[in-house]
């Protein structure tokens, strides 16, 4: 159910305070807000987020050597083939694309796991933890999608909480890019591309309604420009 989005200016102030705490450069004063006062906010349905997480999980497995026929079979049995984008399907079925590009989705998957309540936090100093894969379908053991959903007690975050993280990662991605451009030291292990992947997942999952928002974008249509 849609609700009024939190005050974007107060959320931005909190994001900037976090960047300051991390001793990172702050965006310029005219850095745009992600949403406007009075906008409505919602989170994509839990089953839709679960399906996207499962698809990314298969992409990661393919990037790390899973045979294509196993990936295709798992997706077909899960009835998730139509949830893949054309580039994703080409990679799973035919190996078209760079392994490293799809392997990088581990950070987007981490953000989706956080949205589902399967990860406690999105630490801006650390990359996705190794134990993340234990909370996802066990593809090596052939765990079906339905069985994973039964053993996983998801507790989706609230839309306002997700929006707060989105604004932080919107700002953090810019800040880490600025560090790379200027040669500034990073406060932790997280790099700009990792923050960008997390922002990608959050941008996709958080749906705004308002005068300046169009239809919710598909996965490949998420605009990551700043």
Q: Counting Cβ atoms within 10 Å, is residue 125 exposed (0-12), middle (13-18) or buried (19+)?
A: exposed
Residues 66, 10 within the same domain: no
Distance CA 39, CA 32 (A): 15
In contact, 62 and 92? CB cutoff 8 Å? yes
Q: Which pLDDT score, from 0 to 100, does residue 96 have?
A: 94
Residues 62, 125 within the same domain: yes
Residue where a domain stops, chosen among 109, 129, 151: 151
- Contacts with 174 (C-beta within 8 Å, 6 or more apart), sequence order: 27, 31, 226
What's this model's pTM, rounded to 2 decimal places? 0.95
**Percentage of residues of the chain with pLDDT beyond 70:** 100
Distance CA 169, CA 50 (A): 21
Residues 138, 51 within the same domain: yes
Do the domain assignments include residue 223? no
Distance CA 188, CA 217 (A): 31
Do the domain assignments include residue 28? yes
Residues 39, 62 within the same domain: no
Paired strand residues for 98: none
Do the domain assignments include residue 224? no
Do the domain assignments include residue 66? yes
The range of the structural domain enclosing residue 68 comes to 46-151
Residues 115, 24 within the same domain: no
At residue 75 the predicted structure's pLDDT band, cuts being 50, 70 and 90, is very high
Residues 52, 126 within the same domain: yes
Distance of CA 218 to the CA centre of its chain: 13
Residues 37, 111 within the same domain: no
Residues 84, 165 within the same domain: no
Residues 180, 203 within the same domain: yes
Give Dmax (Cα) for the chain.
Answer: 51
Paired strand residues for 208: 41
Q: Which pLDDT score, from 0 to 100, does residue 1 have?
A: 74
For 152-166, letters b (16+ CB in 10 Å) and e give bebebbebeebbbbb
At residue 145 the predicted structure's pLDDT band, cuts being 50, 70 and 90, is very high
Q: Does the pLDDT of residue 171 top 80, yes or no? A: yes
Residues 18, 72 within the same domain: no
Residue where a domain stops, chosen among 115, 130, 151: 151
Q: Could you give the number of structural domains in the chain? A: 2
Paired strand residues for 41: 3, 208
Do the domain assignments include residue 225? no
Q: Which pLDDT score, from 0 to 100, does residue 172 have?
A: 97
Residues 51, 146 within the same domain: yes
DSSP category for residue 117: T
Residues 12, 100 within the same domain: no
Instruction: Report, as an integer, the average pLDDT of 133-137.
Output: 93
């Amino acid at each position: 159910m849609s609700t009024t989005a939190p005050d974007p200016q107060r959320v931005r102030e909190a994001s900037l305070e976090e960047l300051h705490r991390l001793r990172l450069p702050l965006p310029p004063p005219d850095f745009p807000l992600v949403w406007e006062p009075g906008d409505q906010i919602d989170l994509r349905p839990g089953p839709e987020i679960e399906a996207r997480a499962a698809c990314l999980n298969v992409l990661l497995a393919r990037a790390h050597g899973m045979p294509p026929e196993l990936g295709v079979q798992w997706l077909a049995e899960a009835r998730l083939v139509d949830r893949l984008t054309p580039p994703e399907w080409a990679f799973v079925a035919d190996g078209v694309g760079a392994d490293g590009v799809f392997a990088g989705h581990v950070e987007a998957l981490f953000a989706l796991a956080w949205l589902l309540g399967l990860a406690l936090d999105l630490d801006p100093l650390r990359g996705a933890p190794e134990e993340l894969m234990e909370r996802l379908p066990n593809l090596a053991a052939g765990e079906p999608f339905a069985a994973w959903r039964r053993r996983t007690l998801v507790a989706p975050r609230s839309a306002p909480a997700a929006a707060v993280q989105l604004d932080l990662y919107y700002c953090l991605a810019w800040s880490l890019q600025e560090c790379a451009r200027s040669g500034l030291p990073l406060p932790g292990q997280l790099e700009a591309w990792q923050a960008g992947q997390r922002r990608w997942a959050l941008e996709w999952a958080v749906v705004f309604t308002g005068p300046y928002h169009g239809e919710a974008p598909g996965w490949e249509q998420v605009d990551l420009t700043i």
